[in-house]
Amino acid sequence: MRPYHQIPIFECGEPLLAIPLELFAVESPHPYEKLGAPYGDRSPYYLRQSVIENLIQAQNYLESLHPKWRIQIFDGYRPIAVQQFMVDYSFAQAVQERGLTEVELSPNQRQEIWQAVYEIWAVPSLDEKTPPPHSTGAAVDVTLVDDTGKIVNMGSLIDEMSRRSHPNFYADSDSPEAEKYHARRQLLWDVMLKAGFQRNPREWWHFSFGDQMWAWLNNQSNPANPVSARYGRLV
């Protein structure tokens, strides 16, 4: 259970729609599709209607600050089967990076690796009360592309399982490089926040609107005016 799972969901029934990709930067084919993630006839470049509208607002605001810059959409809607695939893939990658094999793992090693995986990845829960954010069509992973078409270096890769993924990891460093990374993360946060999104406290790239995490973060900063989640899991 995450803290935001206490938030009730009142599904509004808003449709899942294709993101107008011509307005954004995008990687094709999709990174998880290249790994073999089982999307079937679903597309990762779909979001709820209001989420798309807010994302367009964020893009417009970014352009007003930095002409010809683009928000790059890394990932949007993610079926539970894809969530499970990526959790398993990330576990296998973490085992490999540690120079281990799964059959040799001690219980403590296995627990430590799963803990690292779930620092980044939501549990692929089938419980309607605890949906992974991306399975609701309300969460989107994004980064920035500059006016030359180059992906902006944010100081860590999306999905990196390390403390560098935390949004404020570089906040207290006085090295010029770290200050640059933090300023870029702040820029991304500013344009998304202005459009109504909230940012995952553990991931600089993950933003949501209308799901449990969004409601929980809103309620943390504005307890006098609590909100509920409007988007639940889509099957």
Count of C-beta atoms within a 10 Å radius of residue 24: 18
Strand pairing category for 70-75 and 198-199: unpaired
Joined tokens for residue 12: 């509004």
14 is catalytic: no
Strand pairing category for 70-75 and 25-26: parallel
Q: Is 161 helix (H, G, I), strand (E, B) or coil?
A: coil
Distance of CA 42 to the CA centre of its chain: 18
Q: Please name the residue that has the structure tokens 């030359």.
A: 148
Question: Active site residue: 22, 63, 112, 203, which one?
Answer: 203
d(CA 120, CA 106): 22
Distant-in-sequence, close-in-space partners of 212: CB < 8 Å, separation ≥ 6: 4, 5, 7, 9, 131, 133, 229
Joined tokens for residue 30: 């999709």
Provide the β-strand partners of residue 199: 207
Distant-in-sequence, close-in-space partners of 180: CB < 8 Å, separation ≥ 6: none
Joined tokens for residue 118: 């779930």
Distance of CA 121 to the CA centre of its chain: 9
Q: Which residues are catalytic?
A: 203
